[in-house]
Amino acid sequence: MVIIPIIGGAVDYAVALSWRQRLVNVADAAALAVAVERPEKQGEATRRVHDYLAAHIESWQFRQTITVSVPPSGDDDSVVVILQARSKNTFLPIIGLPYFPITVRAVASSNQRFAEIALVLDNTGSMGRRVSDTDTTRKIDALRAAARDLTNILIQPTGRSIPPVRVGLVPFANAVNIGEHNESALWFASEKIGNNQWNGCVLARDNPDDVRDTRTPAWLPYLPIHPHNHFAECRKPSGSYCGCPRQHILPLTGSKADVIDAINGMRANGHTVIPQGIIWGWRLLSPNQPFNTANSYADARNFKYLIVMTDGENYVGRGRVASAYGVPDSSRLVVGSNTAETTLNQKTLAICRNARAVANRGENRITVITITFGPETTRRKILRDLMTDCASPPEHCPLAQCTYHAPTSSELQTAFAEIAHGIINSVRLTH
């Protein structure tokens, strides 16, 4: 008589916890659904919650009564959904406990919120290799799959997301491709192309403008430095050259098809110049030129995320191999006792810190999230330390995590999915 209530009570309690989690999920979803519709009257809001529950859950599954309360919105214009239920016990009635009471509460703001995400993704030559001896997936294929998963989570199949989400893409290698269609833009020095073939990439600005979001001076075209550059793609008229990514920047968009097409167009080629990827990701999120389609930092409803993924350290090659900073031994990168790579590391951190601090008090900051990819090595430990310093503090990120390391392709997909779900939940729900 003693053992049965103890064992049976544990079973009944586990069942109650399971029902509670189910109710939490339903309450969150119902609060979001009603908040988006913004009903003006209490009775109408309650009816819509009941309709939502009837459409998404069958009463027989819970074998309990669900009641809903939607309090007045108050000053913050929020919708509060409270679900009260009873989890019917199987064993504990013998000691006079026929059910466990369950109450869950969800709060969603009916003020429209937005999310802007810049994906800064490594498209360098090493991404064309397999992940490891045991994980034979090509890194670029794993990245495409992970980025597609993130996009599918952030943007609904109809292209209409709640909250509204816009995603931009910055593939980077030796430089960043801004798109040949921008040749006539006022902020681009097209006269510098001359008789050369220009594939869309641009040079970094001079210090300190290369680590800041400034409107001027005009960007200069990135062109082959030497006609006998050993990169084979330099001699391909229809392809990319000298590490200029074939896929150009995709500005912020709510079109899932456009984002997926851009992701699928990424190719592995060239060396690693991380700061150019990050600075152009910041420019996507900036209301300033050259894209100036992002919302203002002062818009408290808007959340900005800069997600950086790379599989290797900064490296620009040797000899006459070009990058957005010119050739490796130029004075733009070899400064004092610094090697080109050391200078690039310093610029990486400077851009991250500047981007994170760009918002004024009371404005929404840019949240920087970093991901390193590939098996653990001594060199990758150095990269992880760099990208950890680049990322925002944990308290500013979804799931209180701003830096990820993915040794395998499956872990890369998990990281991207977790980030996407974290962004959606942090923007949608207030409690």
Angle at 405 between CA 279 and CA 276, to 5 degrees: 15
Whole-prediction pTM: 0.76
- Res. 59 pLDDT band, cuts 50 70 90: low
Pick from 71-75, 199-203, 211-215, 327-331: least confident: 71-75
- Res. 27 pLDDT band, cuts 50 70 90: confident
Distance CA 371, CA 330 (A): 30
- Taking alpha carbons only, the member of 83, 74, 78 closest to residue 35 is 78
- Res. 62 pLDDT band, cuts 50 70 90: low
Amino acid residing at 316: V
Tokens of 330: 């130029």
Instruction: Determine how β-strand 114-122 pairs with β-strand 302-310.
Output: parallel
Average pLDDT on 395-405 reads 91
Domain ranges of the chain: 3-109, 114-428
Tokens of 337: 């006792």
Phi, psi of 420, rounded to the nearest 5 degrees: -60, -50
Count of Cβ atoms closer than 10 Å to residue 222 Cβ: 28
pLDDT of residue 95: 79
pLDDT of residue 177: 94
Q: Which CATH architecture has domain 114-428?
A: 3-Layer(aba) Sandwich (3.40)
Tokens of 378: 């001594």
User: What b/e string do you get for 371-386 counting C-beta neighbours within 10 Å, with b at 16 or more?
Assistant: bbbbeeeeebeebbeb
Average pLDDT on 97-102 reads 83
CB-based contact 150:309 (threshold 8 Å)? no
Helix (H) or strand (E) holding 68: strand 67-69
pLDDT of residue 237: 43
DSSP assignment letter at 100: E
Tokens of 364: 């929404």
Per-residue pLDDT of 253-299, as tens digits, reads 999 999 999 999 999 988 999 999 999 999 999 999 898 889 999 88
pLDDT of 205 over the 50 cut = yes
Higher pLDDT, 409 or 87: 409
Pick from 38-42, 207-211, 349-353: least confident: 38-42
Please state, rounded to an integer, the average pLDDT across all residues of the chain: 83
Token pair 């809903």 is found at 68
Per-residue pLDDT of 305-345, as tens digits, reads 999 999 999 998 765 567 898 776 667 888 888 888 999 99
Per-residue pLDDT of 416-430, as tens digits, reads 999 998 888 776 655
What spatial distance separates the first Cα and last Cα of the chain, rounded to whole Å? Answer: 43
pLDDT of residue 234: 47
- Res. 230 pLDDT band, cuts 50 70 90: very low
Count of Cβ atoms closer than 10 Å to residue 404 Cβ: 22
Instruction: Determine how β-strand 403-406 pairs with β-strand 366-373.
Output: parallel
3-state secondary structure of 344: helix
Higher pLDDT, 269 or 1: 269
pLDDT of residue 26: 75
pLDDT of 189 over the 90 cut = yes
pLDDT of residue 116: 96
3-state secondary structure of 251: strand
pLDDT of residue 367: 96
Average pLDDT on 371-389 reads 89
pLDDT of residue 335: 80
- Res. 384 pLDDT band, cuts 50 70 90: very high
Distance CA 364, CA 397 (A): 12
pLDDT of 236 over the 70 cut = no
